[in-house]
């Protein structure tokens, strides 16, 4: 499940350990020093399986962004909109790398090539049209904290 997700961005694979429905980066040194026969957490968290769907962590998206060509770069306005859960418009995009097939999954990067999340590429038509549909962004932490304070 994890490698199917990663394959949408790069031909590289990631060695992992699956514990229950969670995926962790495989590390031989951690394996040697594990104190428990049945650990519940183990190293760098990569994501989880939820309702037969893979939900990536931001750690995994950061790892993938280092070797993937499937990226959409956004300007400052696009970065803010995306972090607030909005879709990306053509005027907010500075560059599109990789496939331009409608429905392909793209990493969303800011002008410093830092990963902001990912979305589904819709193609480019007019200047005001939606080019990328929002799926997951780092602003989720800010939005979650606001809901908890109410």
- Taking the C-alpha atoms of residue 42 and residue 37, their distance in angstroms, rounded to an integer, is 12
pLDDT confidence of residue 65: 94
pLDDT value of residue 32: 59
pLDDT for 72: 96
pLDDT at res. 26: 84
Integer Cα distance of 72 and 134 in angstroms:
12
Helix/strand/coil percent split, the chain, to 5: 30, 35, 40
In the chain, CATH 2.30.130.10 covers: 69-144
In the CATH scheme, what is the code of domain 69-144?
Answer: 2.30.130.10
What pLDDT, on a 0 to 100 scale, did the predictor assign at position 126? 58
Q: What is the pTM of this model?
A: 0.83
Phi, psi of 77 (to 5 degrees): -70, -40
pLDDT in tens, the chain (150 residues): 899 999 999 999 888 988 889 898 887 766 555 555 555 566 789 999 999 999 999 999 999 999 999 999 999 999 999 999 999 999 999 999 999 999 999 999 999 999 999 999 998 765 558 899 999 999 876 665 555 665
């Amino acid at each position: 499940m994890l490698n199917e997700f990663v394959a949408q961005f790069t031909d590289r694979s990631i060695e992992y350990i699956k514990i229950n429905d969670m995926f962790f980066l495989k590390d031989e040194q951690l394996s040697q020093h594990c104190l428990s026969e049945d650990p519940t957490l183990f190293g760098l968290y990569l994501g989880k399986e939820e309702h037969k769907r893979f939900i990536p962590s931001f750690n995994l998206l950061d790892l993938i962004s280092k070797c993937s060509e499937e990226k959409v770069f956004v300007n400052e306005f696009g970065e803010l909109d995306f972090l607030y859960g909005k879709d990306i418009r053509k005027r907010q995009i500075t560059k599109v790398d990789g496939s331009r097939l409608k429905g392909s999954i793209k990493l969303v990067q800011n002008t410093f090539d830092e990963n902001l999340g990912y979305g589904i590429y819709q193609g480019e038509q007019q200047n005001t049209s939606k080019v990328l549909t929002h799926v997951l962004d780092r602003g989720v932490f800010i939005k979650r904290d606001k809901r908890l304070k109410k």
